[in-house]
Structure formats: structure tokens, C-alpha cells
Structure 1
Amino acid sequence: MHHMPTRRAFLARAGALGCSAAASPVLTPIAMANAPGENRLVVIILRGALDGLDALRPIGDPAFKALRPKLSDGGTPLGDGFFALHPDLAGLAPLWDSGELAFVPATSTPYRDKRSHFDGQDLLEAGSADDAGSVRDGWLNRMLTLLPGVSARTAFALGRTRMRILEGPAPMTHWSPGTTLELGPQAQLLLEYLYGQDPLFAEAGHTALEMGLAEDVAPQGGRAGEVLARYLAQQLRDETRIASLSLSGFDTHQWQKNRLRPALRNLQATLLTLRAELGPIWARTTVLAITEFGRTARENGTGGTDHGTGGAAILAGGALKGGRMLGGWPGLAESALYAGRDLMPLRDVRAYAAWAMRDMYGLRASDLARTVFPGLEMGDNPGLLL
């Protein structure tokens, strides 16, 4: 077991790599844990703060066009046409039509106003209501402590950085890229995809993590998310029941129209590959894709968006009661915005995760609100699952 520095410590060594460092492929792990039963839960962390207003465009809101004169135009209409999918998520429309995709268009963690990727991601993974620094474990691990018969069959992290969401007292194993020379071909390929995604981090990652990979490593066809999902599905077909992975590239301060596209395509590939590879097991699977915070309602002067508050959560899976928007819509009129600049979150994103876990694993709401998500007001059951 190698010592695993925090994200801050890694970045201090890697150099001044800019704001997008928090969303880099170097910091993209995949974690898996064992749990009883046949239901599968996959949590995808979208690092860098997904712009939910671009991924899921509220084209029916009368204030939207003025806020986004250059961004977020068009898309694939869903349902009554109030919302439209970003063109690079159009491949998910069939899942919406078949009830295997749903959105929460206005949600967030309790994190407010400070707008730090690192703090926002820590709070998202810790599952706490305020200071994530006071919480040592992650919410998926705390959920595992409530389940009987959990084993350490598999609990993975690719990369030396923490996958905090699954850290804690429940059994798990941490796999480090320091063991590169002992990897089989499949694991080596996974690392090549992760590091080949973003040329900016290829050399820094090589140096800081002492990977021993060639600096000109590049993916050999396909998307990183597709490779990750194929590998993860293999584990879920075996004994793994609960998994978490990170996808990066969602920090879009500039030229968002182009910079967001590969990240969305990667997310789409991840979901579609999971569905295809899981086969009949997809019917027992729920996927929750969440991000540290949303982005500003108004586009900025460089064709991007800045750190915001409310954002979209994406749910998928054969176990999902999908084809719908969850949690309501606050509107984009100036008086409806949070602090006059951000989409207003209507419900704590932790509540959706908590109700999914209650319905999947029969956990008591009181245990979820006390142990898994301390301080959470769970509210009414949104009825996420079939």
C-alpha cells in the first residue's frame, strides 16, 4: 500500500496547472466495493463542475436565451420540450424514451459561495452538510457499514489520489499506480486511457506519480469512459455491487462550446457502455452522476461559465423509473436566481442518493439521515425506482 497524498499535495508537486487541475485525468479513480443482494449502485463523480444548464438546456424558460446568447442553443427535446439534451448527449435520448434516464435539473450539495473545486468535491464525497474536513470517511463507505455481509472482494482506486466517497471502516482495497509493472494488460490499458485523455497532464502525471508510462502514451481508439465502464461492468457481473468512478473535464471557464463536448461524449459513452455490457443485470442497476456544484446562469465574456451553485444530477439504469424530470424547476428570472447569478437548488442532492439507497437496500431512513448523510432532511420519497 502506497502513501496517497491529498489532491492539494499532488497539485503542489505537479506545478501550477490551472483551475482545471481539480478535474484532471490524473485525479480520476475508479472504486468498487462488495455488498449483498443483486441490486447494483454506481455513483459517477463529474469532476470540474458540470454546467447543468448546458447539458440539460431549459429552452422553454423565457429568461434562458438572454443569459446564454452564444451558449446552449438547440438540442434534442425531451418530454414536453421544455428541456433539451446537449447535442453530445443525444445518444441518451433512447434511454429517456424507455424510462432508463431521468434528471434532477436544480439540485446541489449544501456547499455554498466559496466555489472551490477541492472543497466542493470533498463535501460531495464526504456527504456532510458543512465542513468536510471534520469527516474522515465517505458516504458510500458509511452506507456499507449498515449492510450485513460486506466483504473486501473488490474496492479499487486507480491513481494515488483519494477516492474519498468509499474510504472508511467498511472493507475495501486501494490499488495504486505505483504497482504499474505488476499490472495485467487490461489494467495497463485503463491507465493509458486515463493519462492519454489530456495532454496537459500527461507529463505532470508521469513525473508526479512516477508511473513509468511513456510520455507519449495515447488511447488506441474508443473513449476513456468506455474502457472504464467495460472494466467496471465486468466487476459488477461478478461480485461487485457498489461502485464509484470519476469522469473529468467539466471545468469550462472559457470556450465552453468546444471544451465541454469531449467530457459529455465521455459521459454518454460510459452510460451506454455500462448498459450494453451489463446486459440483463442493467435491470437491477441504478446510476447516479453528480458534480460538486453548478455553473453561473450567465455565460461569461470568454464563451464559458464560472463556478455556480445549483446544477443537474443525472440518473440512469434499468431499475430507474425514468423518462421524467425530478424536483421541480425554480426558473431563471433574475429574482429567482441564487444570489442573482446562479440556478437556485431546490433540493439537497444527498436526498436523492439516500432515497435510492433506501429503496435498493432496505435501509431505514433514520439511519441514512443520521449515519450516511449527517444532518440531511430526506423529505418525501421521490420514487426513483420501479
Structure 2
Amino acid sequence: MARTQTRRDFLLRAAAIGCSAAASPLVTPVSFAAAPWDNRLVVIILRGAMDGLDAVRPWGDADFAAARPGLAATRDSALDLDGYFGLHPALADLMPLWRARELAAVQAVSTPYRDRRSHFDGQDLLEAGIVDLSGGVRDGWLNRMLQGVPGVTAQTTYAIGQENMLLSTGEMPVSRWSPDVDLSLSAQGLRLLEMTMQDDPVLAAAMAEAVLLADSDGDSVMAKDEADMMTSMQGGAIRGREGHLRIADFTALQLRDAARIASFSIGGWDTHVNQGNTLARPLRRLSEVLLRLKDGLGADVWGKTTVVAMTEFGRTVRENGTRGTDHGTGGAMLLAGGAVRGGQVYGAWPGLAEAALYDRRDLMPTSDVRAWAAWAMRGAFGLERDHLETTVFPGLEMGADPGLIR
């Protein structure tokens, strides 16, 4: 009687024909680009307009509490950053990173986008890295950055998630993968895959990893020996069962190997109603992703890593009638990683007095978020300033070096 093909059989056969934990080219938002450099860069797009005044709270500003009687929590010494700013409680697990100077924030930043406050246009401008949308959007700034990097191929550049991410779209080749693909296969299906891939070790490795990432509860859950086998094959198990954790685990796996650049998105930041509850969930996810990355990368690679988390625009200074906040202008970005000169809140703080606000409603932007991303890339990879100001971010003036990277 023919033996039934099992998931374990498939993975073991993939290993036998040369599986080396290559990523599978399936579908998109994490993108990876391998390069000859040793440093790493992770860009996280926070979709929905994170409220930077709540994530990084300006307790030291006398107008903060008055503008947000239902949202402006009192000072918490356990979350204090520098005596003026403090973290949201949902980010409390990141305080060890702050004390280790591996976490930083930048306040009062924005793209050049003004006044219309549309999520779609704001995100397009953020990911395109351009001044306006009048000329149309063709590619993203991360892809344009790769145009100045030798050796980038489709095999070393990936995009992960369900949506097409403009940030990594462009002339440079980008393969795609999704952690949400359901790969529950029958014995016949697994046998067909094995026959199809028997002469292609790279593809076999890719599918083996895809099967692992898509593993779900029930009969398909791997036994301990299967998990141990995959750990041996891949240098560490993909542990995340939720999407954001799977992405973090997969990102860490790739950055420990040949990949050098990753980008993905985290949603859920549009907090018009009951922000006290609705903001906590995406903040916790962001915290979990950062800590998962640090754990998965290990001390050596984490020490060479810069993580940049950015959003399309900020939110109104004053809370609305439903204890939320509406679309604004100036906001905050977060940076993490062992390569970051952390333990600081960067940026020029404009204050929250009504006369100091943009349009008398929003936090006044005092710097361009693109400049901070450009300095992160220059610090991490030594890219030429001219390339960053003319090709990656056309028309950008980066200004003085803020010293973001160690």
C-alpha cells in the first residue's frame, strides 16, 4: 500500500534536495532587499494616521491637558522619557529599549502634504516620497533607493502582505509573499508539489517555508519533531500565529541571512472615536513587532539594525466630541534598533498654544519626515546625499545631520 504523503514528508524531502530557508514568492506589505552591506533597515508604515501626541505624550506642555481633557493622561513616572515627553501605556514594554538607548522618537514631523487630510493621498505621498501628486505616482522611495545599490535581484528583494505597497514599487525587482496564504494541502497536492519542485532546490525551499508559515490549528499542526526539523533547516522557528508576529518573525529570519532591507505596514491607527481604547491595540502590535524583531535578530544583527516607523499625518491637537481625534498635520515617528542613537526625542517642538498650531487646529510640522528617513539611510548604508535628495526624495533638503545612527 502506498504510504500517505504527510506535511512532514514534504518538508523533509524539501530539506533533502537543498532547502535553505529561501523565502517563497507568493503575494504583499513586507519588502526585503539583500545588499552587500552589513547594516539592516526596516521601514514600518503605520496606516491610518497615528496620533503622535498620544503615542509620545508632551506632558511638559502646559496646553496639552487643556486640549485633551478626556485623553491627556497625567504624568506617569514609569513611562517618562526625558522629563517632558512620555510613552503611551500600551508601549510600556518598550521602556527597556529606551533605557538601553535603542528607541527614539521624532516629534512634529510631516510629509509636504497639507490641508486635504485624505488617508489615500497622504499614504501615497508618504510612500512615494515626493512633494505632491500632480505628476502621478509611479514608484516608491525605497525602490528608488535600491536603484543606487549594486547586486539587488528578484531573489533578494521581497514584499510581504496582502496589499500592494507603493513604497517598494518601481524599476527594481521585488518578489512577493503573504503570511496569510492558506496552504492546507492534501496528500496528492503535496506529492504533486514535490514532483514539480524536485529539480529546483530554491523553489522547494521556498514552498517548505510557505507551508510552515501558513500552518494552522487542527490536524495540520506540526508535531514537536517536525518543528525541530524546521528549526534546524531555517535557523529558528517561525513562531508567530498572528499576522503581525508572523511578519516580524519572517523579517528577522531574512535579515539574519542575506536580506538587508525590509518594509511592511501595520494598520488600525484611525482613532476618531473612543481613542483611549482604540489606539491601545495598534500600539501594542507595534511594541510586539519591535520586541519580536529584536529577539529574532539576536544581539549581533539587532546591533546593526535601524527600524523607522512612520505614518501619513498626525491628528488634531484637540479631542473631538466622541473622545477621539480627527485627521491633522504634524505627528510623530518612532525609531528603534541597536544602530539607532536612542534615548532621545528628536525634532523642534513648536508648542500647543493655539497661536502656534497649524491652521489653529493641528500640531505645527517643524521638519520633513523624509529628511529623517534619508538620514537613517545615509547613516546605515553611507548613501550619497545627492542620491537621497534628488533620486530617492526629489527636491528634499536634508539639512544638518541629526546624528540618528551610531
TM-score normalised by the chain length of structure 1: 0.81
Which residue of the partner structure matches residue 65 of structure 1? 65
Query: 2:292 & 2:180 partners in 1: Cα distance?
Result: 28
1:123 pairs, out of 122, 125, 131, with 125
- Cα distance change on mapping 1:133 and 1:179 into 2, 3 Å: farther
What is the deviation of 1:340? 0.3
| One-letter amino acid of the structure 2 residue matched with residue 30 of structure 1 | V
Equivalence map 1:1-16=2 (5 Å): none
Structure 1 residues 288, 177: closer, same or farther in 2, change over 3 A?
A: closer
| CA distance 1:91–1:222, change in 2 (3 Å) | farther
Amino acid at match of 2:99: D
Partners of 2:115 and 2:38 in 1: how far apart? Answer: 40
Contact 2:160 2:264 in 1 (8 A): no
1:256 paired with 2:275, answer: yes
User: Which whole-Å deviations, capped at 9, do the CAs of 1:210-233 have from their partners, x for residues lacking one?
Assistant: xxxxxxxxxx98654322211110
* Alignment CA distance shift 1:47-1:28 (3 Å): farther
Q: Deviations over 1:35-78 (max 9, x none)?
A: 22111000000000000000011011000001110113034443
Residue matched to 1:162: 164
* Change in 2 beyond 3 A, CA 1:107/1:256: same
Question: Which residue in 2 is equivalent to 1:19?
Answer: none
Structure 1 window deviating more from structure 2 (321-330 vs 31-40): it is 31-40
AA of the residue aligned to 1:65: A
Alignment of 1:271 with 2:290, yes or no, is yes
- What does residue 99 of structure 1 align with? 101
Give the RMSD, CA atoms, in angstroms.
2.1
Q: Aligned with 1:264: secondary structure?
A: helix
Q: Tell me the equivalent position of 1:171.
A: 173
Q: Secondary structure at the match of 2:105?
A: strand
Q: How does 1:127-206 map to 2 (within 5 A)?
A: 127-131=129-133, 134-175=136-177, 180-181=182-183, 184-188=210-214
Partner of 2:247: 228
State whether residues 179 and 243 of structure 2, in contact with CA within 8 Å, keep that contact through their aligned partners in structure 1. no
> 1:378 — aligned with what?
398
Instruction: State the match for 1:284 in structure 2.
Output: 304
Per the alignment, in what secondary structure is the counterpart of residue 243 of structure 1? strand
Deviations 1:133-157 (A, max 9, x none): 6231110110010111222224333
Match of 1:337 in 2: 357
What SS class does the counterpart of residue 42 from structure 1 fall into?
strand
Q: Give the whole-Å Cα distance in 2 for the aligned partners of 1:229 and 1:69.
A: 36
In the alignment, residue 185 of structure 1 is paired with which amino acid? V
**Is the Cα–Cα contact under 8 Å of residues 156 and 172 in structure 1 kept in the other structure?**
yes
The AA in structure 1 aligned to 2:339 is A
**Rg larger in 1 or in 2?**
2
In the alignment, the residues of structure 2 paired with residue 133 and residue 232 of structure 1 have an alpha-carbon distance, to the nearest angstrom, of 33
TM-score, with structure 2 as normaliser = 0.77
Q: Which residue of 2 aligns with 1:245?
A: 264
State the secondary structure of the residue aligned to 1:263: helix
What is the alpha-carbon distance in structure 2 between the residues aligned to residue 330 and residue 367 of structure 1?
A: 30
Matching residue within 293, 297, 313 for 2:317: 297
The 2-side partners of 1:301 and 1:307 are apart by 14
Preserved CA contact (<8 Å) 2:316 2:325: yes
Amino acid at match of 2:153: S
**Contact preservation (8 Å) 1:223, 1:269:** no
Q: In the TM superposition, what whole-angstrom CA distance separates every residue of 1:128-180 from its partner, at most 9, and x where no partner exists?
A: 01117623111011001011122222433344531110111112113368974
* 1:302 counterpart letter in structure 2: T
Aligned pairs (5 A) from 1:7-86: 29-74=29-74, 75=76, 76-86=78-88
CA contact (8 A) 1:49 1:250 kept: yes
Query: Structure 1 residues 28, 309: CA separation in 2 closer, same or farther (over 3 Å shift)?
Result: farther
The question of whether the paired residues in 1 share the 8 Å contact of 2:28 and 2:177 is answered with no
Distance 1:133 1:225, change over 3 A: farther
How far off its partner does 1:189 sit? 5.0
**Distance across 2 between alignment mates of 1:370 and 1:221:** 39
Q: Which runs of 5+ in 1 are unaligned?
A: 1-26, 191-219
**Residues 223 and 91 of structure 1, relative CA distance in 2, 3 Å threshold:** farther
Q: Is the contact between residue 50 and residue 331 of structure 2 (CA under 8 Å) also seen in structure 1?
A: yes
CA–CA separation in structure 1 for the residues paired with 2:161 and 2:243 = 14
Partner of 1:22: none
| Distance across 2 between alignment mates of 1:159 and 1:321 | 30
- Alignment-derived partner of residue 365 in structure 1: 385
Task: Report deviation, 1:306.
Answer: 0.3
* Distance (whole Å) between structure 2 residues aligned to residue 178 and residue 277 of structure 1: 20
Would you say how many aligned residue pairs link Structure 1 and Structure 2?
A: 331
The answer to whether the 8 A contact 2:49-2:315 is kept is yes
Residue identity (%): 58
* In 1, Cα distance between equivalents of 2:90 and 2:161: 28
Distance 1:370 1:49 in 2: 27
CA contact (8 A) 1:28 1:248 kept: no
Structure 1 residues 348 and 132, CA, compared in 2 at 3 Å: closer, same or farther? farther
**Equivalent runs, 1:308-323 vs 2, <5 Å:** 308-323=328-343
Q: What is the alpha-carbon distance in structure 2 between the residues aligned to residue 150 and residue 54 of structure 1?
A: 39
